Chain A
């Protein structure tokens, strides 16, 4: 049972464009939603995270949009750069317990020149 569904599986964006990755969750007890960035041969690195009490969070070129009623959240990368080429994972967690993360299946982003 996949509790966090992520799309698309892969994405090609031109330099300067906007990259959008979407996730949907099922468990309404989830209350913390991080995004991770992973480069080949490296461990996932926390990029940005949001709690469901806000609809949007922005850090530099990265923005999370959150729709609680639809149980969906998305990552927007503005002015995408070749250095953003990586695999991105969304995740969800119910806080206050063991903080176990449930991950999406990942999106491989390629930013072309």
Chain B
């Protein structure tokens, strides 16, 4: 898992509540990414970070915010969770020999009731 952990691994919450997912890496990678995985859609990029306090939007960023105050941690926040945000969320880091490779964490399964 390229030194990537995600917490929590599973979460059930109710509509309208705030939720924060955490991605932690141990190898000092500059780039980190948040994706969501849904049947029929593959993986879609939510937000990414290219350094501490440097973030940008991805394809499906509405309803999500991110923060990165330390190199090793990238947080994804759902300010007010909706049922459409029920999904599996994956964090990834950029690395590898060519530096184009992305390595994924184990995922967080989020259910919004």
Report yes or no: B103 in contact with A89, Cβ–Cβ below 8 A. Answer: no
What's the Cα separation between A51 and B50 when bound, in Å?
A: 23
12 A-B pairs with C-beta separation under 8 A:
A42-B106, A43-B1, A43-B90, A43-B107, A89-B43, A95-B100, A98-B31, A99-B94, A102-B59, A103-B44, A104-B42, A105-B40
Given contacts A95-B100, A100-B48, contact A43 B40 (CB under 8 A): no
Report yes or no: B102 in contact with A43, Cβ–Cβ below 8 A. Answer: no
Contacts of B112 in A (CB 8 A): none
Contacts of A100 in B (CB 8 A): 33, 45, 48, 58
Number of interface residues, chain B, beta carbon within 8 A: 28
Number of interface residues, chain A, beta carbon within 8 A: 24
Q: Of residues 79 to 103 in A, which have CB atoms within 8 Å of B's CB atoms?
A: 89, 93, 95, 98-103
Report yes or no: A43 in contact with B104, Cβ–Cβ below 8 A. Answer: yes
Contacts of B56 in A (CB 8 A): 98
